[in-house]
């Protein structure tokens, strides 16, 4: 009987110690279910598409951000910037892991009336740290993009770049 209590107490202690620490470590949340469409020919999942579509009304009109329930705790407040009256830039802080790399957020750039549509995953690490993981995935993803004649005609592509010290994996779906 004493052994049974020891096992129960040890199991309870393990659950109490492991449970809350896992819930609090937001930077460890796996973002693959949300972000994997980036490396699958820039074919975004419905939850990611809805999230991206909600950035504009949220930042401009105070609408509700369509963050999937499992990512609400790791998403911050979106920000918005207008450049030259037509280019809109949106940023959503989002922390977690994707293919073992730390993610810092999502960026969206679109241009009113011009067909510019660029979506990026912002990484916490520099380009040298990100490339070994994602370069092979980008080759596969670009091959998927190139299979679509319209995407090939418009020059849709997926790249990793660093701008102003921020490294992003970018899907350029401009028309």
pLDDT tens for residues 110-163?
A: 886 778 889 999 999 999 999 999 999 999 999 999 999 988 889 999 999 999
12 Cα distance to chain centroid: 35
Say what the pLDDT of residue 146 is: 94
Tell me the average pLDDT of the chain.
Answer: 84
Say what the pLDDT of residue 18 is: 38
At residue 25 the predicted structure's pLDDT band, cuts being 50, 70 and 90, is low
- Condensed to tens digits (0 to 9), the pLDDT of residues 31-86 reads 999 999 999 999 999 999 998 888 888 877 877 889 899 999 999 998 888 888 88
Contact 144, 165 (CB under 8 A): no
Strands 101-111 and 116-123 turn out to be: antiparallel
Structure tokens that stand for 110 in this block = 């679109």
State yes or no: pLDDT of 164 exceeds 70.
yes
- Condensed to tens digits (0 to 9), the pLDDT of residues 120-131 reads 999 999 999 999
State yes or no: pLDDT of 15 exceeds 70.
no
Residues near 154 by Cβ (< 8 Å), separated by ≥ 6? 173, 174, 175
Contact 88, 101 (CB under 8 A): no
Global pTM value: 0.80
């Amino acid at each position: 009987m004493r052994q049974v209590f020891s096992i129960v107490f040890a199991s309870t202690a393990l659950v109490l110690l492991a449970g809350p620490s896992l819930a609090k470590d937001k930077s460890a949340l796996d973002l693959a279910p949300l972000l994997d469409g980036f490396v699958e020919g820039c074919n975004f999942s419905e939850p990611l598409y809805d999230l991206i579509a909600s950035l504009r009304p949220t930042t401009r009109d105070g609408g509700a951000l369509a963050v999937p329930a499992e990512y609400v705790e790791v998403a911050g407040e979106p920000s918005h910037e207008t450049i030259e009256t037509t280019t809109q830039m949106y940023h959503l802080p989002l922390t977690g892991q994707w293919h073992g790399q730390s993610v810092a957020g999502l960026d969206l750039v679109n241009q009113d009336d011009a067909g510019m549509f660029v979506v990026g995953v912002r990484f916490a690490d520099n380009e040298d740290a990100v490339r070994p993981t994602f370069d092979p995935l980008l080759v596969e993803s670009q091959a998927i993009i190139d299979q679509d004649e319209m995407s090939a005609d418009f020059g849709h592509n997926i790249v990793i770049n660093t701008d102003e010290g921020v490294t992003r994996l970018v899907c350029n779906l401009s028309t």
